[in-house]
A and B are shown apart, each in its own frame.
Chain A
Amino acid sequence: MSTPLLHVNHLEKYYQKTHILHDVNFELNTGEVLTLLGPSGSGKSTLLRCLNGLEAYQQGSITFDGQAVTQKPKQWQQLRQQIGMVFQSYDLFPNRNVLENILLGPLKVQKRTRAAVLPEVQQLLEQVGMADYANAYPRQLSGGQKQRIAIVRALALKPKLMLFDEVTASLDPEMVRDVLNIIRQLADSHAMTMLVVTHEMDFAKQISDQVLFLADGRIREQTPGKQFFEQPQTERAQNFLASMDF
């Protein structure tokens, strides 16, 4: 087995004095999808944010693509080009149109040429069914459309790992499916390595190669594939799945 793309080792995270994440350990191989499940407030977002430097962690270590994470701002700035993140609230830049939102990273951060990036972006936009919206401004788009653009914006940097933090949680039900399909397609046809936080259990079940169940900042279950959904080991996980109406 080759070395994992992401290796998280005894991670501990505090907000001031509050201990948020306790001894988090896991590995994620290239091409795998890990879903991170758990009740609200269990630390899922915090863990994701630690993985791209939006939050600092106090103990433990992360290795990404063979490189030890030092937590220096300069290194995070480099690593973020390889670790894309999509948020629940989309957070497109309202002062830039769709194309300018997407091109900012490749052109300014990666210093690639417009001519080289544009065909790729065009293709990504087509993949997510947004090819006609390159010149639209975020305020003209629906939530689902914004989220699709946010996904393209992250993919345009050609990341090796994608982090999705409840990306469908603010969407109307009819738009949820489109966005989930895009993520599913990324996993299936592009073998994108992903860490997904979601409350969509059917989707999680289909997509997961590995499930982490988090409660109160601790990993309570760590199971391969669909096993978690069929035979949750802990009572907490059983309750959680029951509460998910699944």
Chain B
Amino acid sequence: MAHSGIDVLTAGSNFSRLLGGLWVTIKIALIAIIIGLIIGVLLGILRTLPNRPLRFILRLYLEFFRIVPTVVLLFLFYYILPKEFNVNLPADAVATLVFALWVAAEMTDIVRGALESVPQHQKEAGQAIGLTYWQLQRYVLIPQAWPLCLPATVNLMTRVVKTTSLLMLISVMDVINIGQQIIEANNKTAPNGVFWIYGIIFIFYFMINYPLSRWAKHLNKRRLEANH
């Protein structure tokens, strides 16, 4: 079995180190998604207000995070925040921050689109019974927009999980970084270890993203069915 290199997975504390890395990955993705969702929903509602300067600023925010590649954002925040603003954040925190801002930016568009696709008549029917702006959002618009948001939101989550593979570039000890370290440490003794390490990482990512992607498909189907 020495040739296959599969022992690399079990040798020493390798496997638990990989799991530790996976946990870092999941933690960053999860916190970023939760914070991003909350900020994104609020800002997404604001984007439906007829306030031009506000719309413009929020649009700019979205486009910035859309246009600039995530790697660049990570470097930007990792190297420039400490230098220019004297804010020293650990790499994990920088990664969480960047991902949360990215999720929030994308969410604003998902939420805005969903809210705007609720028929105007619904809004007027709500106004006609005297609902205030926030009551209208809460009882009429958001509950109807929510099912429209869900598939795109779950898709966004899978993108976030996938993009966490960039975290090693700013030295976050995520599952890929740990895997890379194990590979390098065992390069001499187990040259085929790379296959097994990335194989297990593949399985980890698959186990997270496959259910998410199935869920998104299911939600989408249900939404289409509900429309008929």
Contacts and interface: CB of A to CB of B under 8 A. Distances in A.
Interface residues on B, range: 10 to 19
A229 interface: no
Contacts of B125: 87, 91-93, 150
Contacts of A78: 130
B181 interface: no
A93 B122 contact: yes
A95 interface: yes
Nearest to B121: A91
Contacts of A54: 124, 127-128
A152 to B, nearest CB: 11
A104 B132 contact: no
Point out which of B127, B133, B143 has the most chain A C-beta atoms below 10 A from its C-beta. Answer: B127
Majority SS at the chain B contact face: helix
Interface in B112-149: 121-122, 124-133, 135, 139-140, 143-144
Given A108-B135, A108-B139, A157 B129 contact: yes
A85 interface: yes
Nearest to A104: B139
Categorize the interface residue count of chain A: 20 to 34
A105 B136 CA distance: 11
A84 B126 contact: no
A218 interface: no
Contacts of B131: 77, 104-105, 108-109
A95 B139 CA distance: 9
Contacts of A105: 129-131
A84 B128 contact: yes
A137 B169 CA distance: 53
A92 to B, nearest CB: 7
B144 A94 contact: yes
Most buried by A among B125, B129, B144: B129
5 contacts: A73-B133, A104-B131, A108-B135, A109-B129, A109-B131
